[in-house]
Amino acid sequence: MKRYININYIRASNLILVSAALRIVDFFLIGEFVSLGSVVALFAITLLFAIGLLVRKGFVWSKWVFSVITMLNLLVIIFIIIPDGLNFHILYDYISSLQILIQVIAVVVLFIPSKQPPIDALEQSDII
């Protein structure tokens, strides 16, 4: 059975993987490697990479999971972090804001219908 993948899924997957890479940079900026926060950060990094790969493979349900996670992150930023002030570490704050922006763009790209025909899943390895 052939599986076809929307080209926008590949674009969104690239954005999700960039977001995960930014999360790794955040992780090293914090510098707390032996705490509960580091366990949560490693889980978030793993989850982002997994969702990015699942989106790339064309699993439709993964875009819904990613959308919910992104909206929860956005709510945390709006209602918890911004009212407290963005003064933890200025570079960390900018990278986190950029990461959220990339995730929101990836969600939008996931839900835009593609004008190109779907790609055969076997030919997908040629497009990166």
The pLDDT tens digits for 36-79 are: 667 887 888 899 999 999 998 888 889 899 999 999 888 877 77
CB atoms near residue 89 (< 10 Å): 14
Dist CA 98 CA 115 (whole Å): 28
Q: Long-range contacts for 59-68 (Cβ within 8 Å, ≥24 apart)?
A: 63/9, 63/12, 63/107, 63/110, 63/111, 66/16, 66/103, 66/106, 66/107, 66/110, 67/107, 67/110, 67/111
Which residues, in sequence order, are bridge partners of residue 120? 4
pLDDT digits (tens, 9 = 90+) for 79-100: 766 666 666 667 777 888 888 8
List phi, psi (to 5°) of 52.
-60, -40
Please tell me the pTM assigned to this model: 0.79
Which residue blocks in the chain are alpha helix, DSSP H?
A: 7-30, 36-57, 60-76, 82-84, 90-111
